[in-house]
Structure 1
Amino acid sequence: MQIRYFLALSLLPQLVLADETETVAASSSQCVVVPPVKPYVPLYEMNTPADLERIYISSDRSAAQMGKQATFNGDVNFSQGGRNIAADEAILDQESEELHANGNLVFQDEIFTVTADSLVAKMRSNSAVLSGAQYWLTGQQIHGDADRLEITKENNLLLSGTNFTTCPGQDPDWLLEADRIKIDSTEEWGEIWDAKIKIAGVPVMYIPYMTIPVSDKRKSGFLFPSFSTSTTNGVEVATPYYWNIAPEYDLTFTPNYMSARGLFTKTEFRYLAGEKQQGQLNIEYLADDDKLVNSPDRYLYHWEHSGAINKNWRVLANYTDVSDNNYFNDLSSDVQRATDNQLTRIGEISYFEQNWDFSARVQDIKVLGEEEKPYQVMPQFTFNYRAPSYWHGLDFNLYSEATNFEHQDSEYSTATRVHLEPSISYPIHGPAGSLTSEVKLLQTNYWQDDKSNLSNSELSEHVNRTLPQVRIHGQVNFERFTDYFDTNYRQTLEPQFQYLYVGYEDQSDIGIYDTALLQEDYNGLFRDRRFSGLDRIADANQFTLGLTTKLFNEQNREVFKFSLGQIIYLEDSRVGINDITGSNDTFVQENTSNSAIAAELTTQLYSDWFLSGSIQYDAKESENKKSEVTVDYRPGTNKLLQASYRYVPDLLNTNTNESVDIKQIGFRGAWPINDSLYLVGNWYYDLNESRAVETYTGFQYESCCWAVRLSYHYRIKTNYIDEDNPVQDTRELFESGIYLNFVLKGLGGSGPLGVSDMLDDGLFNYRKPLYLKN
């Protein structure tokens, strides 16, 4: 069990005019803080610089002495540019060019509204001092008091004896008090001296000095620290430091002390390379982890870069490495989550023209928790050429690649593969349907160096494989207007068929370098390949039949979709993929006349009820190959109830190398108890193991100016076998924790709290039924 506390604070919001739509979305009408005065509306247009300098004065009574003073009484209004001063009395000293005003004093411009006891404004320098001030930022909830508020000639803002809050009413739930605040309008940064935060009138934090942004402009300095405590890491204190090196470079360094493990440091360096390239470098390091035997060092380094060199050239690079398999399970990384177990390393450069493109890449994948390592692509060159309608409506395409496969272990075979795939197709498209006929020639050459030393492994040194392929795909579109349950709909009926022929050739003398079996869902029935990669190209002589029907309501929104299809094999396929151990003469063979039936359904059952499901069913064996179904009830914003079932057979357990079936049910919900309090929870249960794999319950209360969330999380952990870095005590199979999040709005915005954030907080993120796919 672990308990963590997180206080999200940053000590001043941006002093900028908020967009009206954002303001409405961010707060309800009960939360809007409105100044107790009418908004100022300029009485004249300001189209020229002269208009901005011109002074307008109106009052009930006035008395003036030429060249000296002018006195105004009763409903005085003084306007210059976008500023307006309203008062009971004002005195304009023409010699010193000063304006003194008092009595029901109101100062307004486009940024804020201020009421004060008195005002002294210097016209020549365009500065002013207000005493006994109360201020409200336009379009925001921020308001406060200041003993003295000064607007300098540089248009900077100086506040003395000041405070601010975003809470409505005379007794705010939280309040920040400061001896002095300076806002620099040019640098767009503020400085705060002797600040303290009060919650319910009780001081909870003191900060002697800090600088804060009042816009999105960057500045070097310490970011707000975070605190947490857990039984796994002990007491944690993290204090990030941000270094604004240059407009195109910055760096964030975060020392994170964990009493149970030691000092964990995280460094993130970001950069811009010209206008169209960007990247970042992450380095994370924990020396002498006390939780592990022999206290090993643990580390991560990550580099990514992408962008365009010019209109034709593109570059991409991504590299990540960690010290051990359980790095992401034990430590909170800024790069990947604990559920990620693949580290992809890619370097690629590409060139694009209208009808052709070329790319060169290297690739390596590190799979955490697996002993067997994938092959490395060192390197791969691809060339694609497209010639649409090059002769009497015929399209010509050419795909080609040259790939060299290497392996980190010397006992594995290596290979070089050259593949050419020219194709000629004749597409016919129209509103009533389409028909595409295609002919391909699949020409592949392998040069292999067999180092496996297995008695049953007979890889040929050189393989020349030539396979013809013919594919005919057609679809017909039918449409009619109908009604169901007294509701008008537009219904479509879209039957489609495909004939596929691929020649046969024995491929048992070719190693497996980048090939795997593809999923056979409804869309997969109409592929022209059974395997990814090129090491196995399955022979085929088959028909695929499919049917899709849709319903559209009067607003032309799809409310129902059902698809059903199956492959009819005219001949058995004799090419399969090898088993796990590396024996290249053991293959899976299609000894059936039909494939599994694949069906998919998405529909709006009624009003706010939605249903989604898919199944792959073997009618010959009366066996469910894969299925999932989800029912959603979504009656409004932040209201959700979902029930789901998922079945996937024969998944490989990487720790035991055994096949397991996944059979799970799940329930997820989010519901407001009242306007300020709502509940989010989920529960997923493994029917095979008779145990819950994840439970999450969270309550959140949100008012106008603060929010709090209390949540409980229980979930299965991903623990990989790592002989180099064992743990002193046995790793727990499940992890549980109680989390408390507290946010003061205006001292960090709305923070991470929200229904969508809670729905995504877990192993099983929420997905709408329409997008419920693997």
Structure 2
Amino acid sequence: MHIRYFLALSLLPQLVLAEETTSEPDASIQCLVEPPVPRMANLDPDASELALQEIRILSDRSEAQMGKQAKFNGNVSFSQGGRHIAADEAILDQESERLDANGNLVFQDQMFTITADSLVAQMRDNSATLTGAQYWLHGQQIHGDAEKLEITPDNNLHLTKTNFTTCPPGDSSWLLEAERIKIDSTEEWGELWDAKLKIGGIPILYIPYMTIPVSDKRKSGFLFPQFSTSTTNGVEVATPYYWNIAPEYDLTFTPHYMSARGLFLKTDFRYLAGESQQGQINVEYLGNDNMMSNNADRYLYHWQHKGAINENWRVLANFTQVSDNNYFNDMNSDVQSATDNQLSRIGEISYFEKNWDFSARVQDIKVLGEDEIPYQVMPQLNFNYRAPSLWNGLDFDLMSEITNFKHQENEFSTATRLHIEPSISLPIQGPAGSLTSEVKLLQTYYWQDDQGNPKNEELDDQVSRTLPQVRIHGQVNFERFTDYFNENYRQTLEPQFQYLYVGYEDQSNIGIYDTAQLQEDYYGLFRERRFSGLDRIADANQMTLGLTTRLFDEHNVEKFKFSLGQIFYFQDSRVGINEPGMSTQTFTQENTSNSVLAAELSTQIYKDWYMSGAIQYDTKQSENKKSEVTLDFRPGANKLLQLSYRYVPDLLNTNTNESVDISQAGMRGAWPVSDNLYLVGNWYYDLNESRNVETYAGFQYESCCWAIRLSYHYRIKTNYEDDFNPIVDDRELFEKGIYLNFVIKGLGGSGPLGVTDMLDDGLFNYRKPLYLKN
């Protein structure tokens, strides 16, 4: 029979038990725990409010007395909105407003499923008690048991003699048992009393009282400790503590003990400033470093801020300071890694409109391990204006800046630079190709102060430089359908050219403030500049020719790409930049009829085999100026084998100020032994020095409810000369270490450790093996 009662039934709160941070499990691990009962169908979410409050009761048999009791037997089903109750027997006492249900009892809503021996609900105050309960969260791994489960009138939850885990049923890898758990549905956190953590059925930790997050809402508390050991730091133990100060502020404080050095304290403070601005402040301190000859204090402080004040204004700030040049080589910092050798200090505010923008910027860069100190930008003002399709398809652009350069040392000159760069261009574009003609006028003014130092006697107090520039760039797109190895492809042929003319002017009376040589590669052949910055604008009368061909399969996926190009000089360039060890007034000349021949290749060789490479070859001297190649085998997710080689001659070593040849070979791999066990490793070898540069080997085991990673690392260290600790010879040249990471998912852990970060855990990251480390 079908009886309708227009009563409100509110049995259970919206219970959510979740770890502090929820992560998606690895796709290869099926971790979702489902209740052993079928999910009941939800009612129409678009139903009226009255229909959502309506109680529908179905049963095989029923006895009802108006105003007193109604008894239901056999396949009893209660439904209200998205809540459902199934039982063998139920009694509804309308006089006391009490509901009793038992026998194969199942309670479900959109969030969870509960089975229990019996249920007693007081409908007057919306409280209920379930005995012999088991619960499962939909879409998550968390489930557990409770001898008694109570719902209070204010929708809080009390569990007695209870437990929970994220492991599948029958898997006792870890289990948290508690005498009592109280869940606050408003604050979304839980309190546990007399808790025991069991791993493999063995109690390993007793906790008299603790709090846990029961949603993805932030909660203060200790995070998982970290353990490692290395030759430079000894045994390391880090115990981070997370403090949820306010919705817009939080702080992580990490005492990090290193047996060889001492107690390393790290603080990471994050904040939100309004809806669109955010920042963080880091402070790190190690007092009396035992590995330093003078037991010096080591420290770092860092501030970063960025965001939008409104739809037009943007702000950016970044400042970092460390105690010494070798700080990142020795310390496990949260700010930068050992491969970073520059500290950037930037402050910028910008204003954007549709056709123009304005910015003000200050900048100071500290280069670790180098004696030469870069110039400071104090400040730089930029104004840019754009007028597309100004007249008959012509585009007009104006770029301008005024920059004041200062230096921390008195013997260096200072300067103010004003640069104005108007341009008119005519872009013609179509499916068959494009042609862009552009004319620029480069006008620069310098006001220089040599500080009375004879080193700068060749610098003029005032300099005005006016250079015309003409650039014509064209590209033609050809394509055809063809087949190779019985496969259909679409092949493109994309020749392009660029003519560039830049006028000449003697610039030896201008100091070097922010200018450096740009890297030469295929795309660099089509640049307008040979140098970054504006202190040197090289004269040019040259033609660049390039050709790119690609192969696309039937699904329009690029399978092959090859590019080849070279610059042909009609006149020698007479403007260069100072060479290492020479004064700022000594310049080099191009003195050659053409540039290096640059080529790049990226291709899928066959099925899961991929190759990429690049070369810069001096055709006049018959010399290899730079080459790199990688060969990848990627048959599936988390499966990788990679071989790589890199060669660069005459690379400047900033530590010794001498040129060295880089010739290094390496291999990297990641492979799943099973669905749960992964092996990752890499090895890089310096062919010139006949020594290992880096070796990494690690394995990771991950199940649905826990993960562990054990790794070994051997790598070269970059030891800078430093007045802070002048005894460089006593420093370790290589660092060896063993690292252990352990995560219990659902108990404050950070989720799966992942294979990707293992591939990136080193000097030569995956997909960037050609990074050059001096």
The TM-score, its normalising length taken from structure 2, stands at: 0.93
User: For residues 147-171 of structure 1, what are the alpha-carbon distances to aligned partners after superposition, in whole Å with 9 as ceiling and x for unaligned?
Assistant: 1111223332211111112222335
The alpha-carbon deviation at position 85 of structure 1 amounts to 2.2
Partner secondary structure for residue 505 of structure 2: coil
Residues 318-397 of structure 1: pairs in structure 2 closer than 5 A? 318-397=318-397
The alpha-carbon deviation at position 232 of structure 1 amounts to 3.8
The alpha-carbon deviation at position 383 of structure 1 amounts to 1.3
Distance 1:397 1:444, change over 3 A: same
Which residue number in structure 1 is paired with residue 3 of structure 2? none
Which residue number in structure 1 is paired with residue 17 of structure 2? 15
What one-letter code is carried by the residue in structure 1 that aligns with 2:36? P
Which residue number in structure 2 is paired with residue 299 of structure 1? 299
The alpha-carbon deviation at position 519 of structure 1 amounts to 1.0
What one-letter code is carried by the residue in structure 1 that aligns with 2:484? Y
Q: Partners in 2 of 1:518 and 1:44 — Cα distance?
A: 64
What one-letter code is carried by the residue in structure 2 that aligns with 1:214? V
Partner secondary structure for residue 718 of structure 1: coil
Which residue number in structure 2 is paired with residue 521 of structure 1? 521
Distance 1:612 1:58, change over 3 A: same
Contact kept, 8 Å, 1:406 with 1:414, in 2: the verdict is yes
Contact kept, 8 Å, 2:231 with 2:737, in 1: the verdict is no
Distance 1:415 1:43, change over 3 A: closer
Residues 451-490 of structure 1: pairs in structure 2 closer than 5 A? 451=451, 453-454=453-454, 458-490=458-490
Which residue number in structure 2 is paired with residue 75 of structure 1? 75
User: For residues 246-287 of structure 1, what are the alpha-carbon distances to aligned partners after superposition, in whole Å with 9 as ceiling and x for unaligned?
Assistant: 332333333334444333322222222222222122222222
Contact kept, 8 Å, 2:447 with 2:461, in 1: the verdict is yes
Contact kept, 8 Å, 2:33 with 2:168, in 1: the verdict is yes
What one-letter code is carried by the residue in structure 1 that aligns with 2:615? I
Contact kept, 8 Å, 2:43 with 2:82, in 1: the verdict is no
Q: Partners in 2 of 1:45 and 1:138 — Cα distance?
A: 18
Matched, 1:670 2:691: no
What one-letter code is carried by the residue in structure 1 that aligns with 2:557? R
Matched, 1:661 2:661: yes
Unmatched 5+ stretches in structure 2 = 1-14
Which residue number in structure 1 is paired with residue 61 of structure 2? 61
**Most deviating of 77-86 and 190-199:** 77-86
Contact kept, 8 Å, 2:19 with 2:748, in 1: the verdict is no
Matched, 1:254 2:224: no
What one-letter code is carried by the residue in structure 2 that aligns with 1:661? D
Partner secondary structure for residue 132 of structure 1: strand
Q: Partners in 2 of 1:452 and 1:698 — Cα distance?
A: 59
**Most deviating of 504-513 and 108-117:** 108-117
Q: Partners in 2 of 1:23 and 1:751 — Cα distance?
A: 8
What one-letter code is carried by the residue in structure 1 that aligns with 2:426? Y
Q: Partners in 1 of 2:541 and 2:403 — Cα distance?
A: 29
**Most deviating of 367-376 and 155-164:** 155-164
The alpha-carbon deviation at position 570 of structure 1 amounts to 0.8
Q: Partners in 1 of 2:518 and 2:443 — Cα distance?
A: 21
Which residue number in structure 1 is paired with residue 590 of structure 2? 590
**Most deviating of 283-292 and 257-266:** 257-266
Q: How many residues are treated as equivalent by the alignment?
A: 759
Distance 1:586 1:662, change over 3 A: same
Partner secondary structure for residue 329 of structure 1: helix
Q: Partners in 1 of 2:257 and 2:691 — Cα distance?
A: 36
Contact kept, 8 Å, 1:17 with 1:138, in 2: the verdict is no
Distance 1:274 1:686, change over 3 A: same
Contact kept, 8 Å, 1:17 with 1:140, in 2: the verdict is no
Which residue number in structure 2 is paired with residue 3 of structure 1? none
Which residue number in structure 1 is paired with residue 691 of structure 2? 691
Distance 1:226 1:482, change over 3 A: closer
Residues 16-415 of structure 1: pairs in structure 2 closer than 5 A? 28-29=29-30, 31-42=31-42, 47-230=47-230, 232-415=232-415
Partner secondary structure for residue 388 of structure 2: strand
Partner secondary structure for residue 757 of structure 2: helix
Partner secondary structure for residue 670 of structure 2: strand
Q: Partners in 2 of 1:734 and 1:45 — Cα distance?
A: 63
Which residue number in structure 1 is paired with residue 437 of structure 2? 437
Distance 1:726 1:175, change over 3 A: farther
The alpha-carbon deviation at position 735 of structure 1 amounts to 1.0
Contact kept, 8 Å, 2:625 with 2:649, in 1: the verdict is yes
Q: Partners in 2 of 1:573 and 1:744 — Cα distance?
A: 64
What one-letter code is carried by the residue in structure 1 that aligns with 2:389? S
What one-letter code is carried by the residue in structure 1 that aligns with 2:462? H
Distance 1:274 1:421, change over 3 A: same
Residues 501-520 of structure 1: pairs in structure 2 closer than 5 A? 501-520=501-520
Which residue number in structure 2 is paired with residue 731 of structure 1? 731
Distance 1:355 1:486, change over 3 A: same
Partner secondary structure for residue 571 of structure 2: coil
Q: Partners in 1 of 2:338 and 2:740 — Cα distance?
A: 21
Q: Partners in 1 of 2:193 and 2:229 — Cα distance?
A: 30
Q: Partners in 2 of 1:326 and 1:719 — Cα distance?
A: 6
Matched, 1:560 2:560: yes
What one-letter code is carried by the residue in structure 2 that aligns with 1:677? L
Contact kept, 8 Å, 2:446 with 2:462, in 1: the verdict is yes
**Most deviating of 39-48 and 289-298:** 39-48
Which residue number in structure 2 is paired with residue 743 of structure 1? 743
**Most deviating of 740-749 and 477-486:** 740-749
Q: Partners in 1 of 2:629 and 2:174 — Cα distance?
A: 47
What one-letter code is carried by the residue in structure 2 that aligns with 1:610? Y
Contact kept, 8 Å, 1:45 with 1:51, in 2: the verdict is no
Q: Partners in 2 of 1:46 and 1:351 — Cα distance?
A: 46
Distance 1:181 1:17, change over 3 A: closer
Q: Partners in 2 of 1:545 and 1:712 — Cα distance?
A: 48
What one-letter code is carried by the residue in structure 2 that aligns with 1:382? N
The alpha-carbon deviation at position 621 of structure 1 amounts to 0.5
Distance 1:137 1:17, change over 3 A: farther
Q: Partners in 1 of 2:341 and 2:26 — Cα distance?
A: 38
User: For residues 651-710 of structure 1, what are the alpha-carbon distances to aligned partners after superposition, in whole Å with 9 as ceiling and x for unaligned?
Assistant: 221211111111111111111222222211111111111111111111222233222222
Which residue number in structure 2 is paired with residue 9 of structure 1? none
What one-letter code is carried by the residue in structure 1 that aligns with 2:110? E
The alpha-carbon deviation at position 609 of structure 1 amounts to 1.2
What one-letter code is carried by the residue in structure 2 that aligns with 1:15? L
Partner secondary structure for residue 163 of structure 1: strand
Contact kept, 8 Å, 2:358 with 2:383, in 1: the verdict is yes
User: For residues 299-324 of structure 1, what are the alpha-carbon distances to aligned partners after superposition, in whole Å with 9 as ceiling and x for unaligned?
Assistant: 21111111122222211111111111
Which residue number in structure 1 is paired with residue 602 of structure 2? 602
What one-letter code is carried by the residue in structure 1 that aligns with 2:300? L
Which residue number in structure 2 is paired with residue 10 of structure 1? none
Which residue number in structure 2 is paired with residue 627 of structure 1? 627
Q: Partners in 2 of 1:570 and 1:44 — Cα distance?
A: 77
Which residue number in structure 1 is paired with residue 614 of structure 2? 614
Contact kept, 8 Å, 2:16 with 2:111, in 1: the verdict is no
Distance 1:734 1:23, change over 3 A: closer
What one-letter code is carried by the residue in structure 2 that aligns with 1:89? E
Partner secondary structure for residue 314 of structure 1: strand
Q: CA RMSD in A?
A: 2.6
Which residue number in structure 2 is paired with residue 708 of structure 1? 708
What one-letter code is carried by the residue in structure 2 that aligns with 1:289? D
Contact kept, 8 Å, 2:277 with 2:306, in 1: the verdict is yes
User: For residues 588-641 of structure 1, what are the alpha-carbon distances to aligned partners after superposition, in whole Å with 9 as ceiling and x for unaligned?
Assistant: 111111111001111111111111111100011010011111111111111111
Contact kept, 8 Å, 1:128 with 1:152, in 2: the verdict is yes
Distance 1:239 1:640, change over 3 A: closer
Partner secondary structure for residue 106 of structure 2: strand
Which residue number in structure 2 is paired with residue 447 of structure 1? 447
**Most deviating of 706-715 and 398-407:** 706-715
**Identical residues among aligned pairs (%):** 77
Distance 1:485 1:773, change over 3 A: farther
**Most deviating of 149-158 and 710-719:** 149-158
